[in-house]
């Protein structure tokens, strides 16, 4: 029981430390991991080794990947490329289908750009189009926010899913492919929620004064820095399927190199650098856009590293054997990581922290949960992503970005965002469970 008690104490400390004491998640996770080691009777040498190996191992896998993903999103946002994509999506789908247009635009933008930033970019456009089309502003906001959230938690190169995939040793190409499928299908219920439920919430539209237009790069260049890395990673993943026997082809070494996540995302950064009007210090200096990307990525990388330490500590303590002995007969499977992520999301607010912490805890338990097979590792990442949407409320920064920019009060925010994320997460885990039963 000492392992279970220590884990519950560590989780309690993580939630209280982040929510009540406002301690940075990196230090909370690090201290929780060390305390867990001492409570379970691990030796000092073993605790130190778990800290060093856990941090170093996970950074070697995904540290650069997270940074490159953030860099692409930062350049896309600051160059005006994100607005170009948003405007073209609206034009293609049509203003008459404003809910669908905002949902799909948010869905695409949140793959490279953080959901909070993408919402800020799109809010004025959403407001203007909702006013012009005379449709409910709350309904279009719900559609946009849920589109942003779906890819934010389930589709790399967003940092949370990348970190979870790395911690669980899941194939990144498979996570991208199935993440796109599950997240897009999950939005069907969210669309009806937006037009039937959220649209009934009355939120007045207050138009702001217009600002000077940003530089507008070409649409094809704006899309390339998103699409090319994803295509390269997915193609490599397809080539790596043992059933297809493609690894003996002469072109495989080239595919393996270009499709490795680090190289694919580095190519994405290079393509993103074609977007600025002029490539100068404003872009590449320590105080420029790339410097901003470093500052944005640093805390995420550190939190991910702390999650790696926590996972390493759990693994080295022997908790996996305890779980295997006591829970191997239970058929909870994918619902355990989903519910754990949902608890962490609801209690501390951050989807990224919920993703990383849950993945770290679940990693040594995969065999006991029956999730150690390659495809199930992918489904586990997505189950954690689905759980990390449930639910967004007053302790979530994105909740306040949404309510403050739209003029919603807390009650309206709960009706639109909190209930909407419950619909998204519940739909996603249902689809994940069905797919896992059909495919395995």
pLDDT, tens digit, 9 for 90 and up, residues 62-91: 899 989 989 998 998 888 888 888 888 888
pLDDT of amino acid 209: 46
Position 128 confidence tier, pLDDT thresholds 50, 70, 90: confident
**Rounded mean pLDDT of 277-281?**
89
- What confidence score (pLDDT) does residue 324 get? 58
Distances (CA, A) of 236 to 232, 241, 264, 293, 376: 6, 9, 10, 27, 19
Q: What is the DSSP letter of 206?
A: -
pLDDT tens digits, residue range 183-219? Answer: 999 999 999 999 999 999 999 887 654 444 456 899 9
Q: Looking at the domain assignment, is residue 38 inside a domain?
A: no
pLDDT at 58 over 50: yes
How many other β-carbons are positioned within 10 Å of the β-carbon of residue 310? Answer: 29
pLDDT at position 95, please?
66
- What are the contacts of 121-129 at 24+ separation with CB within 8 A? 121/77, 121/82, 121/83, 121/86, 122/86, 123/405, 123/406, 124/208, 125/83, 125/86, 125/87, 125/90, 126/102, 127/205, 127/207, 127/208, 127/406, 128/207, 129/90, 129/95, 129/98, 129/101, 129/102
Q: Tokens representing 158?
A: 């967003």
- Answer whether residue 266 is part of any domain: yes
CA–CA gap between residue 413 and residue 415 (Å, rounded):
5
Mean pLDDT taken over the chain = 89
* pLDDT exceeds 60 at position 288: yes
Q: Does residue 4 lie in a domain region?
A: no
Distance, in Å, from the CA atom of 319 to the CA atom of 316, rounded to the nearest integer, reads: 8
pLDDT at 60 over 60: yes
**pLDDT (tens digit, 9 = 90+) per residue, 428-440?**
999 999 999 998 7
Residues 6+ apart with CB under 8 A from 264: 228, 229, 230, 232, 233, 236, 258
pLDDT of amino acid 394: 84
The count of structural domains within the chain is 1
Overall average pLDDT of the 5-29 stretch? 89
Q: Give the pair of three-digit tokens for residue 429.
A: 């885990």
pLDDT reported for residue 320: 65
- Domain range for 215 is 58-228+260-303+329-439
pLDDT bracket for residue 370 (50, 70, 90): confident
* 65 found inside a domain: yes
Asked whether the predicted pLDDT for residue 100 surpasses 50, the reply is yes
Residues 313 and 54: beta-carbon distance below 8 Å: yes
In a domain, 240, yes or no: no
**375 pLDDT higher than 90:** yes
Q: Each residue of 253-278: pLDDT tens digit? A: 999 999 999 999 999 999 999 999 88
User: pLDDT tens, 150-189?
Assistant: 999 999 988 899 999 999 999 999 999 999 999 999 999 9
* 353 within a domain of the structure (yes/no): yes
Over residues 335-354, the pLDDT tens digits come to: 999 999 998 899 888 899 99
User: Does the residue 250 lie in any domain?
Assistant: no
pTM of the model: 0.85
In a domain, 308, yes or no: no
Look at residue 415 and tell me whether its pLDDT is greater than 70: yes
């Amino acid at each position: 029981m000492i392992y279970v008690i220590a884990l519950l104490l560590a989780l309690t400390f993580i939630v209280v430390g982040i929510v009540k004491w406002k301690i940075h998640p990196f230090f909370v996770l690090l201290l929780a991991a060390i305390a867990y080691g001492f409570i379970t009777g691990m030796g000092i040498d073993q605790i130190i080794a778990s800290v060093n190996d856990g941090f170093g191992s996970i950074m070697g896998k995904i540290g650069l990947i997270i940074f490159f993903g953030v860099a692409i999103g930062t350049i896309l946002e600051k160059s005006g490329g994100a607005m170009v994509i948003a405007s073209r999506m609206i034009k293609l789908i049509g203003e008459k289908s404003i809910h669908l247009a905002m949902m799909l635009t948010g869905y695409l933008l949140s793959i490279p750009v953080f959901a909070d930033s993408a919402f800020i970019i799109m809010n004025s456009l959403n407001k203007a189009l909702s006013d012009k089309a005379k449709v409910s502003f709350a309904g279009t906001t719900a559609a946009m926010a849920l589109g942003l959230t779906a890819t934010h938690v389930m589709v790399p190169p967003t940092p949370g899913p990348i970190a979870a995939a790395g911690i669980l040793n899941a194939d990144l190409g498979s996570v991208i492919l199935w993440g796109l499928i599950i997240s897009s299908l999950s939005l069907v219920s969210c669309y009806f929620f937006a037009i039937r439920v959220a649209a009934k919430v009355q939120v007045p539209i207050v138009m702001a004064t217009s600002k000077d237009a940003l530089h507008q790069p070409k649409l094809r260049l704006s899309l390339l820095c998103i699409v090319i890395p994803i295509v390269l990673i997915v193609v490599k993943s397809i080539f790596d399927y043992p059933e297809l026997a493609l690894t003996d082809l002469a072109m495989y070494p080239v595919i393996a190199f270009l499709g490795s996540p680090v190289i694919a995302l580095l190519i994405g950064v290079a393509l993103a650098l074609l977007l600025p009007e002029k490539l100068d210090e404003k872009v590449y200096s320590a105080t420029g856009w790339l410097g901003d990307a470093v500052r944005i990525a640093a805390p995420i990388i550190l939190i991910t590293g702390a999650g790696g330490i926590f996972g390493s500590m759990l693994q080295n303590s022997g908790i996996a054997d305890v779980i295997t002995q006591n829970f191997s007969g239970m058929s909870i499977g994918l619902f355990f990581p989903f519910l754990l992520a949902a608890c962490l999301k609801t209690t501390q607010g951050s989807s990224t922290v919920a993703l990383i912490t849950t993945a770290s805890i679940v990693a040594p338990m995969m065999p006991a949960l029956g999730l150690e097979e390659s495809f199930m590792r992918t489904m586990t990442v997505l189950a954690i992503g689905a759980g990390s949407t449930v639910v967004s409320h007053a302790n979530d920064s994105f909740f306040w970005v949404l309510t403050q920019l739209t003029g919603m009060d807390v009650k309206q925010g709960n009706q639109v965002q909190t209930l909407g994320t419950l619909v998204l997460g519940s739909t996603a885990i249902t689809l994940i469970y069905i797919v896992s039963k059909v495919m395995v």
